């Protein structure tokens, strides 16, 4: 880059170039003092490995800013702030505005048009795309919907679908071969003409492979009736998927063990836990919870999800993953 910068955003564009926006040129973390924020955008061309300085933004786009490719080929650059710990708080630096960047390809001439495209495509199965009758298509690109946080767009990816076969205005386009090349989820499908001008994208869903369910990139084990799961319960999982532990038989043994403890003159948690093959710490917590008043116990246990609620929550998270969206708590609540 021509401008040194940190806390910036890099956005992959449908023609394969990368737009870099925002950032600060200072060495310190997110230094927003005058003269340090970089307003000039830069465009990287991977074909000849060159950087070109673009138009400047009017606001500081540093830490906590976002940059997202839109279906119309423009880039939304917005937000920013989070003052440096070495500086006094300045709420005016926490920005809630945004700007739209129009890449050079939007000034090269008329845009091709996607007349029709499928809503869903499957791995290894070619699909048809119809364009304008006068459009001469050079490339077809597939860009995954972005998800930006802390100057990182960890969801974006780009692939060119080739070779495609034109037959008049209708093209037969190869789908991604497998989930390693294009994970299931939602993408923007662009067609680009001879001048590398992209169309407005069609949103398509890449479906999971038959017989498989799209999973998120980590495992979540739901463990009912435990107030504070130990690190060993939730960390260092090698299986990469969402799952629900079937705790119905375990809970039944816990209930029997708690009833047994009530019959003991001096409760022996370790011996009872061995007898019923349950965790002694879990047993002790459950036993102590039963000793609360009915009102306190009710309030204490309302924080736990029922098994049906757990299944619903995991289903919502997997649904969001299929859509290429980050499963934040607010999105889960909205979807529910």
DSSP string, 283-324: HHHHHHHHTS-HHHHHHHHTTSPPHHHHHHHHHHHHHHHHTT
Task: Sort 220 into a burial class: Cβ within 10 Å, 0-12 / 13-18 / 19+.
Answer: middle
DSSP string, 34-76: TT-B--EEEEEETTTTEEEEEEEPSS---TTEEEEE-TTS-EE
**Of 63, 83, 105, 287, which residue is the catalytic one?**
63
Of the candidates 1, 52, 76, 62, the one whose C-alpha atom is nearest the C-alpha of residue 26 is 62
Work out the number of other CB atoms within 10 angstroms of the CB of residue 75: 20
Annotated active-site residue 63? The verdict is: yes
- Rounded distance, CA 79 to CA 65, Å? 4
Angstrom CA distances, 238 to 164, 219, 220, 318, stand at 39, 8, 11, 18
Of the candidates 84, 46, 43, 93, the one whose C-alpha atom is nearest the C-alpha of residue 67 is 43
Question: At 190, is the secondary structure helix, strand, or coil?
Answer: strand
Point out the residues that are catalytic: 63
């Amino acid at each position: 880059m021509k401008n040194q910068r940190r806390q910036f955003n890099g956005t992959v564009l449908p023609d394969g170039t990368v737009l870099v926006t925002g950032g600060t040129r200072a060495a310190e973390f997110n230094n927003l003092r005058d003269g340090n924020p970089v307003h000039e955008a830069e465009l990287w061309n991977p074909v000849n490995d060159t950087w070109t300085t673009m138009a400047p933004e009017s606001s500081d786009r540093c830490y906590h800013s976002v940059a997202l490719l839109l279906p119309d080929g423009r880039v939304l650059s917005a937000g920013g702030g989070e003052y440096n710990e070495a500086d006094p708080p300045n709420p005016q630096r926490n920005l809630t505005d945004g700007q739209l960047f129009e890449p050079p390809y939007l000034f090269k001439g008329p845009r091709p048009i996607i007349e029709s495209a499928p809503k869903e495509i499957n791995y290894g199965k070619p699909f048809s795309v119809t364009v304008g009758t006068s459009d001469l298509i050079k490339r077809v690109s597939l860009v995954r919907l972005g998800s930006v946080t802390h100057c990182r767009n960890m969801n974006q990816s780009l692939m060119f679908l080739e070779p495609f076969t034109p037959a008049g205005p209708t093209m037969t386009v190869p789908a991604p071969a497998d989930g390693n090349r294009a994970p299931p989820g939602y993408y923007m499908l662009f067609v680009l003409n001879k001048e590398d001008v992209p169309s407005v994208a069609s949103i398509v869903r890449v479906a999971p492979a038959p017989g498989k369910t799209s999973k998120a990139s980590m495992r979540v084990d739901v463990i009912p009736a435990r107030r504070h799961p130990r690190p060993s319960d939730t960390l260092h999982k090698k299986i990469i998927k969402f799952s629900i532990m079937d705790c119905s038989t375990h809970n039944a043994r816990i209930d029997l063990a708690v009833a047994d403890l009530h019959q003991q003159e001096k409760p022996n948690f370790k011996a009872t836990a061995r007898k019923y093959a349950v965790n002694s710490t879990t047993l002790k917590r459950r036993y102590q919870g039963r000793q609360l008043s009915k009102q306190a116990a009710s309030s204490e246990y309302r924080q736990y999800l029922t098994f049906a609620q757990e299944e619903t929550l995991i289903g919502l998270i997997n649904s969001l993953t299929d859509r290429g969206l980050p499963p934040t708590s607010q999105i889960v609540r909205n979807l529910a």
